[in-house]
Amino acid sequence: MTASPMLSPQDEAGIARRAIPLLDLTDLGDACRASAIDTLCRAAREGSVAAVCVWPQFVGQCLRGLHGDPIAVATVVNFPTGGEDIERTVEDTVQALRDGAQEIDLVMPYGALLRGELAPVRDMIQAVREVCDQGQPLKVILETGVLGNSEPIAEASRIALESGADFIKTSTGKTAVSATPEAAEVMLKAIRDHGSGGLKISGGLKTVANAATYLSLADGIMGPGWATPKTMRLGASSLYADLARARDAVP
């Protein structure tokens, strides 16, 4: 991630207060247990974040643990490998929605895109969009660290948005390279050019300075005030602790 300018405690507190409502507080660890989900839900309620994002088997537990708070429960499908089995992915999505998932994070079949086979990419996104028929937000994960440079990231962004994605998301957090400001800039420009859509940054977000970098990018490309929970999310497992520290340091 590119270096961020030094921030005063007042700057950090302001960024934290902007960023916390945008959080998709996440636990997609391979060893995730029910006790960790309870902790996640407590932190989500304390912070009044936008959503929690968990493995499908924990959706029901999150719904109970959030006690009716207006925090969405998101889950993942076709995750993390970005396979090409559309039927299986649709079945998993339908089951997640039956279990009460309110947002779906779908991994694009990015291998097909890299081979130049665009039809399977469009078909999967459109098929999942169709089963999210009650308006559940669909976030499409591009896996930008694997796509690599700006051209395939821009193409993936366009295809996802044209196929019905509500958000385009940088990464699963499971690859060597996750979110980068360079990828986020390409994605924001695609959203701007498309005329609608949101951005989710995921993978490697740990500090207030990281959040500041992406908020500054969004402000510069989309305009101040664009970044709200309906248009921008920050997906992270450990970022909340640093944001809460900064928020609480300045009354």
Q: CA 48 to CA 43: how far, in whole Å?
A: 8
**Domain membership flag for residue 237:** yes
Chain centre to alpha carbon of residue 213: 16
Residue 188 maps to a domain: yes
Range of the domain at 180: 9-249
pLDDT at 1 over 80: no
Q: What is the tally of structural domains in the chain?
A: 1
Segment 51-74, tens digit of pLDDT: 999 999 999 999 999 999 999 999
Catalytic entry in 24, 92, 105, 242: 105
Q: Which residue out of 92, 166, 169, 242 is catalytically annotated? A: 169
Distance (Å) of CA 114 to CA 85, 126, 200, 243:
17, 19, 21, 36
Domain assignment present for residue 1? The answer is no
Q: Above 70 in pLDDT, residue 5?
A: no
How many angstroms separate the Cα of 140 from the Cα of each of 52, 73, 158, 201?
16, 16, 11, 11
β partners of residue 104: 75, 138
**pLDDT one-digit tens code per residue, 159-171:** 999 999 999 999 9
Task: Indicate if the pLDDT at residue 94 is higher than 90.
Answer: yes
pLDDT bucket at 6, cuts 50 / 70 / 90: confident
Convert the pLDDT of each residue in 113-142 to its tens digit.
Answer: 999 999 999 999 999 999 999 999 999 999
Q: Is residue 180's pLDDT more than 80?
A: yes
pTM (predicted TM-score): 0.96
Catalytic residue among 24, 92, 139, 200: 200
Q: Is the pLDDT of residue 2 over 50?
A: no
Q: How far apart (Å, rounded) are the C-alpha atoms in residues 50 and 198?
A: 14
Tell me what the mean pLDDT of segment 99-120 comes to.
Answer: 98
* Residue 2 located in a structural domain: no
User: Which tens digit of pLDDT belongs to each residue from 213-226?
Assistant: 999 999 999 999 99
Residue 174 bears catalytic tag:
no
Neighbours of 118 (CB within 10 A): 13
CATH (domain of 57): 3.20.20.70
Which single residue is written with the structure tokens 């169709």?
Answer: 130
Reply yes or no on whether the pLDDT at 3 is more than 80: no
Asked if 200 is an active-site residue, the reply is yes
In a domain, 4, yes or no: no
- Confidence at residue 104, expressed as pLDDT on a 0 to 100 scale: 98
What average pLDDT does the segment 172-182 reach?
A: 97
Asked about 139 being catalytic, the answer comes back as no
- Answer yes or no: is 3 within a domain: no
Exposure class string for 157-186: b at 16+ Cβ within 10 A, else e: bebbbebbbbbbbbbbbeeebbbbbebbbb
**Residue 197 belongs to a domain:** yes
Domain assignment present for residue 231? The answer is yes
- Residues 236, 26 contacting (CB under 8 angstroms): yes
Amino acid occupying residue 58: F
Q: Is the pLDDT of residue 26 over 70?
A: yes
Task: State the DSSP code for 5.
Answer: -
For residue 112, how many other CB atoms are within 10 A of its CB? 19
